[in-house]
Structure 1
Amino acid sequence: MKKILPFFSYAFHPIFIPILGTLSYIIFSERLYTVEQYYLVLFQVIIITFFLPLSFFYLLRTFGKVDSIMMAEVKQRKIPLIMQMVLTAVLLQKSITIDRFPELYFFFLGGLISTLIVFLLIYIHFKASIHMVAISALNFFVIGLSIHFQINIIYTIASLVLLTGIIASSRLYMRAHTQEELTVGYLCGVVPQLCLWCFWL
């Protein structure tokens, strides 16, 4: 098991979570929109939250600002986190608006708040686990979808809970984080999602 633990840190890197959250919404929503509209929003999410950050990462790596996509050093996190907040804000303002996709809007808004908290923690030299932020936010978003649409997706939720534990174990095994950093990261992901539930559940 220890030999495959690092795989989960890469396979479920935070950069994939916005796409997984959007796919979860498309799969579990009540088909309120056309297939074309769903494809369009998914395409926009992929461009803004995956390809643009990935391109920006390689640019930063070229200039020696980061050395790995895992951003092991606290000081390497500032620019990527700022970029992520800006791109998410653009997505919320131009594409996933509250009047068009309210459930998805609050998922990304919660992600924006979580990213801001992680960014502020940098200034006290605390490296909260972004992996835990991402997977815990996705977990509670899916739980929210289950409640909101009154659907039984207990196996999906249970799988995400199990995956959260595996990713936490992976980060510990790779010595990327301490238990405290994982716990704080988990709370940073969960609390904004829970607080925003009252606006869309």
Structure 2
Amino acid sequence: MKKILPFFSYLFHPVFIPLIGTLFYIVLDESYFSFSQLVVLLLQIVIITLFLPVAFFFLLRTFGKIDNIMLSDISQRKIPLLLQTMLFSVLVTKSITLDRFPELHYFFLAGIISSVIAFLLLFIKTKSSIHLIGSSALTVFVIGLSYHNEVNIINTIVFMMVMNGFIASSRLEMKAHTHKELLIGFLVGALPQIGLLYLWL
């Protein structure tokens, strides 16, 4: 089992969370979008939240600013978190706007809040698990979508909760975080999502 656990850190890496959340939104939301609208939406998400961060990762690694994709050192987290905040800000102001995709808009808006909190915590030498920030935010968002659209996906929600446990165990097994850092990450991801739920439920 110990050999399998690190796999969850890569499978549910934070860079994939925006795309996974968007796919859940498309599947569970009652809004009807044309095929072309869905293609444009997914392309925007893939380019801005996946391709650009990966490109910046290789750029930062080339200049020696980061060692690996897990960002284990506190000092290496500031630039990626700032980048994520800026990219999410572009999404919520230019494409994933409140009038077009309200639920998804609040998902990314809460993501901005989580990123800013995680960034500010670095200045008091506190590291939060970005993996748990992403997985807990995604879990709350999917629960909100289920309630909002009156769709029974209890099995999916239970699965996601279990995955939070596996991800946390994975980070412990890889000695990337302490229990405290995992708890902080979970709360930093979940609480902003919970706080904004009342705006779109």
Structure 2 length-normalised TM: 0.99
Counterparts of 2:160 and 2:109, CA distance in 1: 21
Counterparts of 1:39 and 1:103, CA distance in 2: 18
Counterparts of 2:195 and 2:32, CA distance in 1: 25
Secondary structure of the residue aligned to 2:77 is helix
Paired position in structure 2 for 1:113: 113
Counterparts of 2:31 and 2:89, CA distance in 1: 25
Q: Write the letter of the residue equivalent to 2:62.
A: T
Deviation for aligned residue 1:40: 1.0
Deviation for aligned residue 1:34: 1.3
Paired position in structure 2 for 1:40: 40
Counterparts of 1:40 and 1:56, CA distance in 2: 23
Q: What does 1:19-168 correspond to in 2, within 5 Å? A: 19-168=19-168
Counterparts of 1:166 and 1:126, CA distance in 2: 23
Deviation for aligned residue 1:30: 1.5
Q: Write the letter of the residue equivalent to 1:116.
A: V
- Structure 2, unmatched stretches of 5+, are none
Deviation for aligned residue 1:38: 1.4
Report the aligned-residue RMSD.
Answer: 0.6
Counterparts of 1:51 and 1:84, CA distance in 2: 12
Secondary structure of the residue aligned to 1:199 is coil
Secondary structure of the residue aligned to 2:150 is coil
Deviation for aligned residue 1:136: 0.2
Structure 1 length-normalised TM: 0.99
Deviation for aligned residue 1:191: 0.4
Paired position in structure 1 for 2:190: 190
Runs of 4+ in 1 over 6 A off after TM superposition: none
Identity %: 57
CA deviation string 1:52-104 (max 9, x = no partner): 01000100000000000101100000111111111110111110000000000
Q: Write the letter of the residue equivalent to 1:114.
A: S
